[in-house]
Amino acid sequence: MTIETVRVELGDRGYDILVGSGLIGRAGQFAAPLLAQKRVIIITDRHVARHHLDALLESFKRADIATETIILPAGEQTKSFTELESLCDRLLAMKVERHTTLVALGGGVIGDLTGFAASIVLRGIDFIQVPTTLLAQVDSSVGGKTGINTQHGKNLIGSFYQPRLVLADTDVLDTLPKRELLAGYAEVVKYGLINDPAFFTWLEGHGAAVITGDPVARRHAIITSCQAKAMIVGADEREAGQRALLNLGHTFGHALEAECGYTDELLHGEAVAIGMVIAFDLSARLGLSPLEDAARLRRHLASLGLPTDPLHVQGRNWSATRLVEHMGRDKKVKDGRIGFVLARGIGQSFTPAYVDLAEVETLLESTIAA
């Protein structure tokens, strides 16, 4: 298959997202014209290194680019102050220079952490994203949001800092467990729910093929998602307006993740899937959206095996009050009020929607008691 290019238009900071097969094996070729110095430091985690590091190293070797590697622990808990400090110390010990480029080889955790380190080490150095999960390819690697988690919430410390290039190699998705693929698929569905009802309808017919690995379906889903995000980021890089729509389901999802301690008990994409259902349920409860649209979303996610309510996490006693407290720390809070992303129907999301939190808590209580 040919390589497709999606451009993120940000003036002199714009960059390409390349989507196609075999891109890791050609990473050196694509990166070389962008490097100010023929030296890169690859940052990855133990799981990804086992599958893809050798091929990436070889591609840079063929392009006569010097490489060094830092391998971090896998998992959401790596997005922490401790790991950020350790990473920055290791980069400085390697005598990183302002013309050195970092390469993030991994999922959203590695991409977010590497991008944040790139934005602060020596007051800013270049980095390239090589996302290895579906979630990272369609969402976290694009748009320049970087950051870490804290005890107060997810991604509350970070920066907007754009990569120089994104290489979305569709072949790497074949090594992902189904649970990880489904978690990424939740972010694909999000683009249909925001402003593309035709894409959501397409997903209803082809979502199973995306998950099982049909190359045409998977490629279409990734390219459509990247095009949607590139358009929004190009118009609103720092989330002053329409980019906030990309947080559909995330206010609820982040609260669920925080309650689970950012562990594998609930993956980010799983939390987003549940959060999107809650957002549509709330929209219907407020009379904004048809009940059938909320039911349609729930049916589609459940048909593929994605969770649709917090009770998916077994053995946990949820508290609606605690979940609302977590939401109060959301980045979108303004003057003490949460600006929710809600919907008037599939493909008709809007924000900010200021809702009486008692109404939200009542909905959550009914959801966790179901």
Which residues belong to the active site?
123, 145, 187, 229, 239, 243, 247, 250, 254, 268
> Which residue's structure tokens are 């075999």?
22
- For residue 258, which amino acid is it? A
Cβ-based neighbours of 76, under 8 Å, separated by 6 or more: 109, 149, 257, 262, 263, 264, 268
Residue that is written with structure tokens 């720092």 in the block: 238
- No. of H helices and E strands in the chain? 14, 12
Among candidate residues 26, 41, 180, 228, the one with its CA nearest the CA of residue 122:
41
Phi and psi angles of residue 72, each rounded to the nearest 5 degrees, phi first: -110, 165
Tokens found for residue 114:
């590497």
Q: Which residue has the tokens 């301690």?
A: 261
Q: Report the C-alpha gap between 311 and 318 in whole angstroms.
A: 8
Return the biggest CA–CA distance within the chain: 61
Length of the chain: 370
CA distance 117 to 8: 22
Distance of alpha carbon 248 from alpha carbon 184, whole angstroms: 14
- The side-by-side arrangement of strands in the sheet containing 337-343 is 333-334, 337-343, 349-354
- DSSP string for residues in 106-128: ESHHHHHHHHHHHHHGGG--EEE
